[in-house]
A and B are shown apart, each in its own frame.
Chain A
Amino acid sequence: MKRRTLLLGAVASACGRGPRLNVYNWSDYIAPETVPQFERECGVRIHYGTYESNQEMLAQVMSGNSGWDVVFPSGDFIEPMRALELLAPLDHALLPNVSALSPEFQRPPWDPELRWGIPYMHGVTGILYQRSLQPAPASWADLWDARLRGRLTMLDDEPEVLGACLKKRRYSINSATPVELLAARQEALAQKPLLRAYLNAEVRDQAAAGDVLVAQAWAVTAAQAIAAAPGKLAFAFPSEGFPRFADNVAILRESRRVEAAHRWINYLLRPQVAAGIVMATHTASANQEALRYLPSQVRQDPVLYPTPEVLARGEWFQAQSAASQKLRDRLWTEIKSS
């Protein structure tokens, strides 16, 4: 399989001497055959790079001449990036497959007209833990338990860590009130001595190997870890409430291959393609039509497709005002530096 991919990639790049699309995506967020199949069909070569957090991606593209064409920002980053004039508006005439999206994602709160980004995959942030740990953690507050010392990780992501701390205090994850944010900072500082590390998707292998007992993790990472170590791991939706996120495909304003980028987005919206990605990466797709192509145990996976009652406790991340973002960034530096 790998050899065929290599060969086809070589052939595609040989005859596709033409345009090359630079795609910057989260790690482990695509199936092995997605890119080669697109290259074959459309004659466009893809250069594929990965990142581990929205901040990492934003730091790279902020200069306005990074070289990337397509990125995958989370919903709460769409508005700031648009305000920074980093995004190119989408032409729906070139995206007929957009009708395949679920109704919820046809008019998402961060971009109701889908002018700037098309929802790709979505999920929640919760608690990944070893089944051997009893009693099992069920709320954010459980992540401050002293018995977890040295075997606990949190996400290396400011909205997520502050979000969990805010939720522990029963505030909203999108709070912009300085008093509440400072309280959240206190919580984070109190928890820090227990932490093993701040890790994003990198925690997957460590959890599967048993090095980590409890991790604040994205549902995607959790699903991948659970699949990698069958029967050893489980995922909990915290009782106080949890963040929901959706990653979107967006085109950068600096891109000189806007038409090819649209073709790529339309290709990703194809139900079979989306289904293929879901099967390979254990993600939850925003694509409703794709669900038809998925086996029932995937469609009913409680981690990726929780029941509406569970989802009701979720809260979407919202973009912060500039002043609030500045405060949050400062608090995050202080948390990481302590």
Chain B
Amino acid sequence: MTRLRSIFAMPAAVLMLVTIAVPAGIVGVYSVLSRGAYGGVELPWTLENYTRLIDPLYGGIFLRSIALAGAATALCILLGFPLALFIARSGTRKNLYLSLVILPFWTSFLIRLYAWMFLLRDTGLINTVLQWLGVIHQPLPLLYNTGAVLLGLVYGFLPFAVLPIYATLEKLDKNLLEAAADLGARPIAVLTRVTLPLCAPGIAAGAILVFVPSLGTYITSDLLGGSKTILIGNLVQNQFTTARDWPFGAAVSIVLMIVAVFLMFTVRRRGEELL
């Protein structure tokens, strides 16, 4: 009984070791080495890469990234909850409505970001229509700012919030809701005092599923933020490519990974079991 299980698990385990554990180790080692003259890594050992992160400049980037991810998460939950509610109550059409949510999410994140670039730029559809209607005379700078990045994040990760919330709503015992109504509670009260608290695990799971990728986002801020808005993801990418400062990039990656893992442990205790 056990042998087959271990054989089956072997390829995945080896792969995880080689592609996750070993690289993490290498990145960890790089993070305490120094940068070569034009790039690359070399001795001596140093903690300078980590102490550099305490500099308010980089602390600012972390805070900005956390704030942006937090805003995206809050918006996704706020916008996603009513939608999840709608789908859970829609009876026979549930699968259709669910598919309509999943569909845009799984089809090319990159293209969906480009769609917003197409709409938001100065000569894009929104500005053209507004100008044609006479509402404005100069194109609005809708693209290349934090707002556009936030829009991109919400647009990209909304389904991540909807699905877990829907999953908990589905499993909700309808009797509880009926009981509350029988006891005289109005629909709004039932919602806020019964449904919402019972959904907490789903909401928590959804929040983490939006927050972590938003924290490490790279292409959203690059395409919609004009590579002016530097977030953690951009910083890491930058250090590993054009800036050629691998040790520093490694330090930032390690910190980012620690944050992600920490959040993962939090949700595993309170949220849905995926694995």
Q: Which residues of A contact B (CB under 8 A)?
A: 53, 55-56, 58-59, 62, 80, 83-84, 150-151, 156, 192, 195-199, 209-211, 322, 325-326, 329, 332-334, 336-338
Contact = CB atoms under 8 A, between A and B. Distances in A.
A329 B239 CA distance: 10
B226 A62 contact: no
B242 to A, nearest CB: 4
Contacts of A210: 122-123
Interface string B218-250: 000000001110100001001111111100100
Nearest to A62: B39
Contacts of B243: 55, 329, 332-333
Contacts, number: 78
Contacts of A338: 57, 60, 230
Per CB-CB distance, the 5 closest pairs between chain A and chain B, nearest first, are: A197-B226, A322-B37, A55-B242, A211-B122, A150-B141
A195 B141 CA distance: 12
A62 B230 contact: no
B57 A209 contact: no
Given A62-B244, A150-B144, 4 more contacts: A59-B242, A322-B37, A322-B38, A334-B57
Contacts of B245: 329, 333
Contacts of B177: none
B121 interface: yes
Interface in B48-71: 57-58, 60-61
A83 B38 CA distance: 10
Contact of A59 (B144, B230, B241): B241
B57 A211 contact: no
Contacts of B241: 55-56, 59
Contacts of B38: 58, 62, 80, 83-84, 322, 325
B227 A325 contact: no
B40 A211 contact: no
A314 B40 CA distance: 33
Nearest to A59: B241
Given A58-B244, A329-B244, A337-B61, A198 B227 contact: yes
Contacts of A151: 141
Interface residues of B, number: 29
Interface string B103-124: 0000000000000000001110
B242 A53 contact: yes
Given A84-B38, A211-B122, A211-B123, A337 B230 contact: yes
27 contacts: A53-B242, A58-B38, A59-B241, A59-B242, A59-B244, A151-B141, A196-B141, A196-B144, A196-B228, A197-B144, A197-B226, A197-B227, A198-B228, A199-B226, A199-B227, A209-B122, A210-B123, A211-B123, A211-B139, A322-B38, A329-B243, A332-B243, A333-B235, A333-B243, A337-B57, A337-B230, A338-B57
B228 A333 contact: no
A62 B235 CA distance: 20
A338 B228 CA distance: 9
A63 to B, nearest CB: 9
Contacts of A322: 37-38
Contacts of B35: 326
Contact of A337 (B39, B235, B244): B235
Contacts of A59: 39, 240-242, 244
Residue of B61, B121, B227, B248 with most chain A CB atoms under a 10 A cut-off: B227
A295 B248 CA distance: 51
Interface in B71-90: none
Contacts of B40: 62
A68 B138 CA distance: 46
B239 A58 contact: no
Given A58-B39, A59-B242, A62-B38, A195 B57 contact: no
A58 B240 CA distance: 12
A156 B234 CA distance: 14
B228 A195 contact: yes
A322 B122 CA distance: 42
A158 to B, nearest CB: 8
A56 B242 contact: yes
A336 B123 contact: no
Nearest to A332: B243
A15 B60 CA distance: 58
